[in-house]
């Protein structure tokens, strides 16, 4: 099927990650990449060609991979530890807790193909629990960029941040949403659209869908604010509280379970500071079936039209 004539160009955030990492490595010889037999899926082929002595491929041994990253950090290196998000997080959670978070190791964890990006490979490859697993750990910022520009900015920021972090990247193509030259700021939301009737909050692959939903709501006479909340921890409480007080209703959408993820993080802030009606869109506490990421997002009520309908229904509860 041909794309619509005016459809925006879509970009794979992994390409922005790889290009930025290669540039940073050329400037900083302490940067190393560690992966779990995922040179291809992590887009590390160029890094391997340019810096073969600085790529450590541990094979399919994610727990060892995290430990190797911690050891390299202790030895003065700056490791970016890359792997498919369901295996980097779920299989290695104990090591992430003890070797990275508790030890406050200067390791950059990069979860590749998060959410339901591996849709056709089924539930074992879906990464719809990684927000919940990682955001409870102290010392570990959790970040899900919305486009290639924010991805590059976050990778560059991570190189200057002394401490661990978790970057959650998808392989699903997304359009540019932020301006070229955007600087990532930890814990700060990006206001993508002004609005007064309801606030739509997302990150990662759902952000552009929220903007489309806001456009549909505008046609219906509803003014929707859109926030890109790339940092799940530490979260931008100020932006969330302002949204609650000024718009009176909040819808969140995420490529994750509705339990423990972005929606839960926003709800915690709202209930403690400015209770308003909320709707959390995501995977409803089940194992997502096999299917493309786009298909599954639509099936779970996160097509732009479905988001707009959810927002319109929520406004009636104000």
pLDDT digits (tens, 9 = 90+) for 266-286: 999 999 999 999 999 999 999
β-bridge pairing 190-193 and 224-228: antiparallel
Residue 1: what pLDDT? 37
Residue by residue, DSSP assigns 16-28 as HHHHHHHHHHHH-
CA 183 to chain CA mean position, Å: 16
What is the C-alpha separation between 196 and 103, in angstroms, rounded?
44
Using one digit for the tens of pLDDT, what is the confidence trace for 131-168?
Answer: 999 999 999 999 999 999 999 999 999 999 999 999 99
What CATH number belongs to 11-174?
3.40.50.970
What is the C-alpha separation between 156 and 293, in angstroms, rounded?
28
Residue 318: what pLDDT? 84
Q: Predicted confidence band at 299 (pLDDT cuts at 50, 70, 90)? A: very high
Residue 136: what pLDDT? 97
Q: At what angle do helices 207-219 and 304-315 cross, to 10 degrees?
A: 60
Report the percent of the chain where pLDDT is more than 70.
Answer: 98
What is the C-alpha separation between 301 and 313, in angstroms, rounded?
13
Biggest distance spanned by C-alpha atoms of the chain = 60
What is the C-alpha separation between 279 and 201, in angstroms, rounded?
10
* Residue with the two structure tokens 């990449």: 33
Using one digit for the tens of pLDDT, what is the confidence trace for 190-219?
Answer: 999 999 999 999 999 999 999 999 999 999
Going by the DSSP 8-state scheme, the letter that residue 203 receives in this structure is -
Using one digit for the tens of pLDDT, what is the confidence trace for 15-70?
Answer: 999 999 999 999 999 999 999 998 988 999 999 999 999 999 999 999 999 999 99
**Helix and strand totals (H; E) in the chain:** 12, 12
Q: Does 4 score more than 70 pLDDT?
A: no
Burial state string for 49-81 with b = 16 or more CB within 10 A and e = fewer than 16: eebeebbbebeeebbebbbbbbebbeeebbbbb
Prediction pTM value: 0.96
Q: Does 2 score more than 60 pLDDT?
A: no
Helix ranges, the chain (H): 13-27, 45-50, 62-74, 85, 93-95, 130-135, 148-160, 207-219, 237-247, 262-273, 293-299, 304-315
β-bridge pairing 142-143 and 231-233: antiparallel
Q: What's the start-to-end Cα distance of the chain, in Å?
A: 41
Domain boundaries, the chain: 11-174, 190-316
CATH says 190-316 is which class?
Answer: alpha beta
Residue 94: what pLDDT? 97
Question: Of 5 and 242, which is predicted with more confidence?
Answer: 242
For 257: left if phi > 0, alpha if psi spans -120 to 50, otherwise beta; the answer is beta
Q: Does 309 score more than 80 pLDDT?
A: yes
What is the C-alpha separation between 306 and 318, in angstroms, rounded?
19
Q: Which residues pair with 168 in a beta bridge?
A: 111
What is the C-alpha separation between 198 and 249, in angstroms, rounded?
5
The two domains 11-174 and 190-316 share their CATH topology (first three levels equal):
yes
- Tokens read off for 34: 């560690």
């Amino acid at each position: 099927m041909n794309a619509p004539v005016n459809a925006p160009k879509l970009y794979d955030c992994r390409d922005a990650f790889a290009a930025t990492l290669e540039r940073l490595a050329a400037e900083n010889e302490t940067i190393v990449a560690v992966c779990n037999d995922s040179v291809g899926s992590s887009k590390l082929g160029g890094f391997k060609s340019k810096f073969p002595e600085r790529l450590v491929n541990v094979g399919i041994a994610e727990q060892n991979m995290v430990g190797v990253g911690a050891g390299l950090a202790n030895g003065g290196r700056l490791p970016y530890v890359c792997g498919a998000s369901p295996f980097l997080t779920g299989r290695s959670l104990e090591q992430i807790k003890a070797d990275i978070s508790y030890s406050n190791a200067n390791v950059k964890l990069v979860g590749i193909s998060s959410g339901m990006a591996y849709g056709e490979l089924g539930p074992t490859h879906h990464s719809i629990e990684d927000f919940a697993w990682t955001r409870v750990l102290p010392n570990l910022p959790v970040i899900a960029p919305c486009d290639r520009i924010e991805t590059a900015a976050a990778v560059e920021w991570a190189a200057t941040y002394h401490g661990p972090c978790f970057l959650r990247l998808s392989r699903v193509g997304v359009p540019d949403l932020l301006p070229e030259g955007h600087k990532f700021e930890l814990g700060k939301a990006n206001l993508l659209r002004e609005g007064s009737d309801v606030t739509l909050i997302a990150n990662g692959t759902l952000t552009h869908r929220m903007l489309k939903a806001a456009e549909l709501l505008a046609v219906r006479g509803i003014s929707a604010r859109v926030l890109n909340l790339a940092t799940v921890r530490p979260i931008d409480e100020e932006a969330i509280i302002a949204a609650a007080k000024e718009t009176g209703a909040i819808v969140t959408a995420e490529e994750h379970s509705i339990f423990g993820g972005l929606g839960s993080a926003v709800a915690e802030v709202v209930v403690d500071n400015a209770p308003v009606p909320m709707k959390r869109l995501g995977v409803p506490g089940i194992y997502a079936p096999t299917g493309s990421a786009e298909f599954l997002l639509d099936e779970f009520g996160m097509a732009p039209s479905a988001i707009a309908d959810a927002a319109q229904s929520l406004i009636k509860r104000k």
